[in-house]
Structure 1
Amino acid sequence: MSDPNPCLECGICCTHFRISFYWAEADDAPGGFVPAHMTEKLNHHMSCMKGSNQLPRRCSALEGEVGKAVSCSIYENRPTPCREFPVFFDDGTPNPKCDELRALIGLPPIEPLGFPRAA
């Protein structure tokens, strides 16, 4: 059995960071994949996910209640920063930034991969 995805109970990163990326990742550019209607222009080269450029932040693609149950409505078409933010590093250790953000909403640290989870 695989470990459950800790992101599905958290989502705090989607309310903490401005999610900015190269404008051509949006689907109104040839080869783009991020739904353009969910983005806003930052400058000639960069866009960001709507909702992530002002306070309070909340990415327009985030669904559900942070700290309880969340999902990304465009997971298969999410921008590069979301794809590249690791919950776990290659050796299975959790990203300390995840644990830092999780603590802000009262969630416990993430267990390293390969270790049994506490019941």
Structure 2
Amino acid sequence: MEQINPCTTCGACCAQFRVSFYWAEALERGLPEEFYGPLTPTMAHMLGTNCRKPRCAALSGEVGQETRCAVYDARPSPCRSVEPGDEKCLRARSSYGLAGL
């Protein structure tokens, strides 16, 4: 029986946190330029996440319903560090009124 990834029906973390990372990581991972921008001389951020109400430019769909990351395989390390059910996940889900995992 195939297990469904809970992230594909959530997306809350992608619409909750700023995603900043060392600029060279984008090149190393092959992250398309239209999804990130400069933050400082050495740091970059995922577009859409560096604002008062963040939502990553790579996120499509409706949070809590059905979502998809357009750059999943090339996503930077901060995105990779959030695990389903961890503290950041639960905080993001809570902010959207979603139950914990």
Same fold (TM > 0.5): yes
Partner of 2:93: 102
| Offset at residue 103 of structure 1 (A) | 2.4
Partner of 1:90: none
Q: Distance in 2 between matches of 1:71 and 1:8?
A: 6
Identity %: 43
Residues 19-66 of structure 1, C-alpha deviation per residue, up to 9 Å, x if partnerless? 001101223xxx342112211101111000000001221101001001
More helix by proportion, 1 or 2?
A: 2
Partner of 1:117: none
Aligned residues: 101
Give the counterpart letter for 1:85 in structure 2: V
| Stretches of structure 2 lacking an aligned partner (at least 5 in a row) | none
Q: Distance in 2 between matches of 1:61 and 1:11?
A: 11
In the alignment, which of 50, 55, 75 is matched to residue 47 of structure 2?
A: 50
TM-score, length of structure 1 as denominator length: 0.77
Question: Which of the pair has more CA radius of gyration?
Answer: 1
Go from structure 1 to structure 2 and tell me whether the alpha carbon gap of 1:52 and 1:16 turns closer, same or farther (over 3 Å shift): same
TM-score, length of structure 2 as denominator length: 0.89
| Stretches of structure 1 lacking an aligned partner (at least 5 in a row) | 88-93, 111-119
Q: How does 1:1-119 map to 2 (within 5 A)?
A: 1-27=1-27, 31-87=28-84, 94-110=85-101
Aligned alpha-carbon RMSD (Å): 1.5
Relative contact order higher in (CA < 8 Å, ≥ 6 apart): 2
